[in-house]
Structure 1
Amino acid sequence: MSTQPAHQRPLQQDWANREYIEVITGSIKKITDFLNSFDTSCRSRLATLNQKLTELERRVEYIEARIATNELPTENHLVDDVEIGSENFV
């Protein structure tokens, strides 16, 4: 059996508490770094998606305007103007 002097017990408990706090602090930092990275990634992807949706909305408005003015394009002309099938939207 090891008997510790009374003055060493609080000191050892203090070191144990500090180590525990250090582990918790490190874990919180890792979580924070991940969340910041995730936020940046999501914002970038949403901005890209927003640009693509804006472009599609403009194309739809263009086609609607042409239809409204009875300027019906030929099938090939419509495909050339829109080119929806050739884009990757995700």
Structure 2
Amino acid sequence: MSRMRHAPAPQSTVQQQIQEDWANREYIEVITTNIKKIADFLNSFDTSCRSRLAMLNEKLTSLERQIEYLEARVTKGETLT
């Protein structure tokens, strides 16, 4: 009879392992979701930064051209007015 009393113990151990497995899976899911959110944010940030840097580059290029033009006029002795 003592053997029958011990039979439920493995079942409770299995149930405990299943519960722990589900808890681990839920934890992994939360971590995975947060990693995806971070990756999405970083990709969005990268796109935004690249766009802003491209606009700044265009403005700088335009300013450089204006400076080169003005320097050429000054070198030739032309008046700037």
Question: TM-score per shorter chain, which class?
Answer: 0.7 to 0.9
Show structure 1 runs of 5+ residues with no match.
75-90
The letter for the 2-side match of 1:60 is I
Moved over 2 A (4+): none
- TM (norm. structure 2) is 0.85
Structure number, greater radius of gyration: 2
In structure 1, C-alpha distance between the alignment counterparts of 2:31 and 2:80, rounded to whole Å? 65
Give the percent of matched residue pairs that are identical in Structure 1 and Structure 2. Answer: 69
Residues paired across the two proteins, number: 71
Segments of 5+ residues of structure 2 without an aligned counterpart are 1-10
Q: Deviation per CA, 1:7-47: give whole Å up to 9, x if none.
A: 10111000000000000000000000000000000000000
* Equivalence for 1:65: 72
- Please, what TM-score do these two structures have when normalized by structure 1? 0.76
Matches within 5 A, 1:16-31: 16-31=23-38
> Which one scores higher on RCO, CA 8 angstroms, separation ≥ 6?
1
- The 3-state SS of whatever aligns with 1:19 is helix
